[in-house]
């Protein structure tokens, strides 16, 4: 029988000593289902009094489904946070009424003459402002649309959840990116590719007759962080998703999402005309194929009037595409774009393509295939590029397509699920990685041309802008497998709303809403989160190393792995360890990848002396005795980084141990057990990788 500390503690709990029970009396056991929308009573007496003075009733003017959802959320949330019933008002008859709506639905808001300001904020922007209405002090949450008012309401609740002042507030906000999507790699059988939190949320076998009530909570969580779209199925798409049977199921999901401002999208299989209706070809220039997609689009919009569009993976990893017929990616994308355009739909065409037979360095391929097509895509097409040049590695330079596509909108694809970052076992907060990506300067229009500004359409005038994230949600009760993995879902939504956000600020926001506002708890949790990604990089693939993972699962270390299916799926292909050194030569003497970047980056990366050390092994094959900036030779520096990573994980567990009794015991134990495994894994990574590299360096480990 396997010993389970968590199960043991659950059985033991009723018999624990009274003193221990009393020490934990201030925290409530919970399972993580509520995410960051916990709405527990404000535990600061002074703030609670202030909030009660500012909030006595809710007045929502408008009868749309979104406004009904908004009113329900405010009533539930404020009732919990203020620990008292919050009434629904018909007029601002007393001080402290929260008035919510739009100028078109609320005569009260219309009387404030904010129309120009709200119009400038757009349909998803909002204003939260202290104001006087009919002689009473109120807080007004106003927008040009009900969806904007919903976003503003969640912002207002976040102020209370994080203990912010409501006195004389004046807040305006709007998204900097139009499309803010979760990509679900869910399959028809309920499995999730790269999913580490259980089965699919969609339960296709129950739809459309029964829709899991949990989907409403999924929609609430997404709306609270500004996500406005969900791609429901795997990019390695089954064509059955485009059949009427499944479109009716998807329509049932869309009906739950719609009031929360979330559109549904589908990953489309490019070979669907052949696979569904047995057409002899899927050639994008064939008239019958063109008509098939037009008819299919018409059918989709009859069933789902606000359908968002298609995500497509084509001519990549055995997926069919236009190149099967001698056509370009632009011709393939435009086929679908033409079918969707009359309905307002869009196409997101992934740039994740590589062909080792053509390019020995696989990361060169996307740039070579897509940059020559810039300007040839229809106006409702976005090219979707992974944030990094390779494949969601723990650290890699930004993909050089960002800044290179001047006429074609670039949609940034991030991965929330931790495929290469410890799955749902390791605590790795991805906010610092995303902030690093968005702050990277492309130099496409000189200094300051950051990836964030490119994605926002601030460098080139993109008509569409977007950010997507490969989702980490599943049927696990706590949604994401690891209690801290919820932070990556949260941070993704907030970065998608504003790519120039601060990872540390978002960590603080999430912590306060998820673990409480106790100062010691907040400072400890934020410290753990902000060091976690760099710790992972150090104990797995420091100094720009990449691709060190085992075959297929991408969890454990296997730096010498050779995959018989193809060389560029092998760890050894990326590591390139030999008697001379370590790393992939991508300089002008190597694969020439450096010149896919703008000056001065290309020169900086090309020179081993000026290349950032955190990317050194990405761009250079570094000799074992090369002198690093620290004064150590490369071998000792590598050894040092692995050690730092391992020690950081031990420190994270020590920090967490200090919070026993400060957070609920159930989630405390979940995290503690995960950290115990992470310490074990970090040691294994450190030991295995260094021993493997030593077989090439023939240099001794330092005496410890």
For the segment 532-552, the average pLDDT, to the nearest whole number, is: 97
What is 37-95 written as a DSSP string? ---PPP--HHHHHHHHHH-SEEEE---SHHHHHHHHHHHHHHHHHHTS--EEPSS--ST
This prediction has a pTM of 0.95
Q: Domain range spanning residue 443? A: 179-514
Q: Which residue has the tokens 């949600």?
A: 473
Residue 313 lies in a domain: yes
Residue 624 lies in a domain: no
Backbone angles phi, psi at 44, to 5 degrees: -100, 110
Residue 266 lies in a domain: yes
Alpha helices in 549-633 (DSSP H): 571-575, 601-606, 616-619
Same domain, 337 and 461: yes
Same domain, 137 and 225: no
Domains: count for the chain: 2
Give the rounded distance of the alpha carbon of 398 from its chain centre: 16
Residues 6+ apart with CB under 8 A from 12: none
Same domain, 163 and 183: no
Count of C-beta atoms within a 10 Å radius of residue 687? 13
Q: CA of 356: how far to CAs of 15, 33, 588, in Å?
A: 62, 44, 19
Residue 21 has pLDDT above 50, yes or no: no
Residue 8 lies in a domain: no
For the segment 448-463, the average pLDDT, to the nearest whole number, is: 98
Same domain, 237 and 126: no
Residue 215 lies in a domain: yes
Residue 608 lies in a domain: no
Residue 483 lies in a domain: yes
Same domain, 120 and 185: no
pLDDT value at position 356?
Answer: 75
Same domain, 169 and 208: no
Q: Which of 465, 498, 514 is the endpoint of a domain? A: 514
Q: What percent of the chain has pLDDT over 90?
A: 94
Of residues 127, 83, 87, the one with CA closest to residue 106: 127
pLDDT value at position 27?
Answer: 56
Q: Contact 685/501 with Cβ under 8 angstroms? A: no
Same domain, 309 and 163: no
Q: Contact 169/129 with Cβ under 8 angstroms? A: yes
pLDDT value at position 12?
Answer: 38
pLDDT value at position 2?
Answer: 38
Same domain, 383 and 420: yes
Instruction: Report pLDDT digits (tens) over 353-379.
Output: 998 778 899 999 999 999 999 999 999
Residue 272 has pLDDT above 80, yes or no: yes
Q: Confidence class of residue 593 from pLDDT cuts 50, 70 and 90?
A: very high
Q: What percent of the chain has pLDDT over 70?
A: 96
pLDDT value at position 25?
Answer: 39
For the segment 85-109, the average pLDDT, to the nearest whole number, is: 93
Q: Which of 514, 537, 560 is the endpoint of a domain? A: 514
Instruction: Report pLDDT digits (tens) over 334-359.
Output: 999 999 999 999 999 999 999 877 88
Q: Which residue has the tokens 């919510």?
A: 100
pLDDT value at position 244?
Answer: 98
The length of the chain is 704
Same domain, 166 and 305: no
Q: What is the CATH number of the domain that holds 458?
A: 3.20.20.80
Element spanning 97, H or E: strand 97-101
Q: Which of 146, 173, 200 is the endpoint of a domain? A: 173
Residues 6+ apart with CB under 8 A from 487: 429, 431, 507, 510, 511, 514, 529
Residue 4 has pLDDT above 80, yes or no: no
Same domain, 238 and 379: yes
Same domain, 255 and 292: yes
Q: Contact 572/693 with Cβ under 8 angstroms? A: no
Q: What is the CATH number of the domain that holds 101?
A: 3.30.379.10
Measured CA to CA, the distance from residue 536 to residue 533 in angstroms comes to: 5
Averaged confidence pLDDT in the chain: 95
**Which are the catalytic amino acids?**
317, 391, 419
Residue 674 lies in a domain: no
Measured CA to CA, the distance from residue 651 to residue 19 in angstroms comes to: 28
Same domain, 250 and 350: yes
């Amino acid at each position: 029988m396997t010993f389970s500390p968590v199960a043991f503690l659950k059985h033991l709990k009723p018999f624990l000593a009274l003193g221990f029970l009393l020490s934990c009396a201030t925290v409530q056991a919970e399972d993580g289902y509520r995410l960051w929308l916990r709405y527990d009573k404000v535990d600061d007496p002074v703030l609670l009094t202030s909030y009660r003075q500012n909030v006595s009733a809710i007045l929502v003017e408008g009868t749309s489904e979104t406004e009904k959802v908004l009113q329900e959320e405010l009533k539930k949330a404020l009732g919990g946070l203020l620990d008292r019933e919050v009434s629904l008002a018909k007029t601002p008859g007393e001080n402290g009424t929260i008035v919510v709506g739009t100028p078109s639905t609320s005569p009260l808001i219309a009387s404030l003459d904010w129309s120009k300001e709200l119009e400038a904020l757009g349909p998803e922007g909002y204003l939260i402002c202290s104001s006087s209405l009919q002689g009473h002090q109120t807080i007004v949450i106003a927008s040009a649309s009900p969806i904007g008012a919903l976003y503003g309401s969640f912002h207002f609740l976040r102020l209370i959840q994080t203990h912010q002042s409501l006195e004389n507030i004046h807040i305006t906000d709007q998204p900097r990116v139009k499309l803010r999507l979760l990509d679900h790699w869910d399959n028809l059988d309920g499995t999730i590719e790269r999913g580490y939190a259980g089965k699919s949320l969609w339960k296709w076998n129950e739809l459309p007759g029964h829709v899991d009530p949990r989907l409403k909570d999924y929609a609430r969580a997404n709306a609270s962080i500004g996500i406005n779209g969900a791609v429901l199925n795997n990019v390695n798409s089954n064509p059955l998703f485009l059949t009427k049977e499944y479109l009716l199921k998807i329509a049932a999901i869309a009906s739950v999402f719609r009031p929360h401002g979330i559109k549904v999208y589908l990953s489309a299989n490019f070979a669907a005309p052949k696979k569904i209706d047995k057409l002899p070809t899927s050639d994008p220039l064939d008239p019958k194929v063109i008509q098939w997609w037009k008819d299919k689009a018409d059918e989709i919009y009859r069933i789902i009037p606000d359908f968002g569009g298609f995500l497509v993976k084509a001519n990549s990893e055995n997926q069919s595409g236009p190149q099967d017929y001698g056509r370009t990616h632009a011709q393939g994308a435009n086929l679908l774009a033409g079918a969707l355009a009359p309905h307002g739909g869009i196409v997101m065409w992934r740039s994740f393509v590589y062909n080792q037979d053509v390019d020995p360095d696989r990361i060169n391929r996307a740039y070579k295939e897509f940059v020559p097509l810039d300007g040839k895509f229809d106006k409702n097409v976005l090219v979707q590029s992974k944030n990094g040049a390779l494949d969601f590695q723990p650290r890699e330079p930004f993909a050089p397509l960002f800044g290179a596509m001047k006429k074609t909108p670039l949609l940034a694809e991030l991965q929330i699920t931790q495929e290469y970052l410890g799955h749902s076992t390791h605590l790795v907060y991805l906010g610092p990685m995303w902030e690093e990506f968005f702050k990277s300067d492309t130099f496409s229009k000189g200094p300051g041309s950051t990836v964030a500004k490119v994605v926002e359409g601030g460098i080139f005038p993109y008509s569409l802008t977007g950010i997507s994230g490969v989702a980490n949600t599943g049927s696990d009760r706590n949604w994401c497998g690891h209690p801290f993995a919820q932070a990556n879902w949260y941070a993704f939504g907030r970065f998608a709303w504003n790519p120039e956000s601060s990872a540390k600020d978002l960590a603080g926001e999430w912590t306060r809403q998820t673990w409480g506002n106790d100062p010691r708890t907040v400072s400890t949790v934020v410290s753990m989160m902000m060091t976690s990604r760099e710790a992972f990089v150090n104990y797995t693939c420091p100094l720009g190393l990449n691709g060190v993972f085992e075959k297929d699962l991408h969890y454990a270390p296997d730096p010498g792995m050779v995959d018989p299916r193809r060389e560029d799926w092998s760890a050894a292909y990326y590591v390139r360890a030999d008697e001379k050194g370590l790393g992939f030569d991508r300089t002008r003497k190597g694969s020439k990848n450096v010149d896919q970047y703008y000056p001065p980056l290309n020169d900086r990366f090309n020179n081993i002396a000026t290349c950032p050390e955190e990317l050194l092994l990405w761009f250079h094959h570094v000799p074992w005795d090369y002198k690093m900036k620290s004064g150590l030779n490369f071998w000792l520096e590598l050894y040092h980084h692995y050690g730092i990573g391992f020690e950081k994980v031990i420190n994270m567990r020590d920090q967490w141990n200090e919070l026993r009794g400060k957070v609920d015991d159930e989630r405390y134990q979940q995290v503690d057990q995960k950290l115990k495994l992470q310490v074990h894994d970090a040691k294994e990574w450190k030991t295995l990788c260094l021993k493997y590299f030593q077989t090439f360096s023939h240099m001794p480990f330092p005496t410890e």
